[in-house]
Amino acid sequence: MKWISLVLFTLLCLLQYRLWFGKHSVPDYWKMKQEVELQARQNANLTQRNGLLKADIEDLKIGLEAIEERARNELGLIKEGETFYRILPPEQ
pLDDT at 60: 76
Is 67 buried (19+), middle (13-18) or exposed (0-12) by CB count in 10 A?
middle
Q: What proportion of the chain, given as a percentage, has pLDDT over 70?
A: 100
- Tallying the residues shown for the chain, one arrives at 92
The contacts of residue 25 (CB under 8 Å, 6+ apart) are: 18, 19
Contacts of 66 (CB under 8 A, 6+ apart): 56, 59, 60
**What is the pLDDT of the chain when averaged over all its residues?**
87
pLDDT digits (tens, 9 = 90+) for 34-63: 999 999 999 999 999 999 999 888 877 887
Tell me what pLDDT residue 43 has: 97
pLDDT, average across residues 66-91:
81
Element of type H or E holding 24 = none
The pLDDT assigned to 39 comes to 97
Rg of the chain in Å (alpha carbons): 32
For the chain, domain boundaries: 24-75
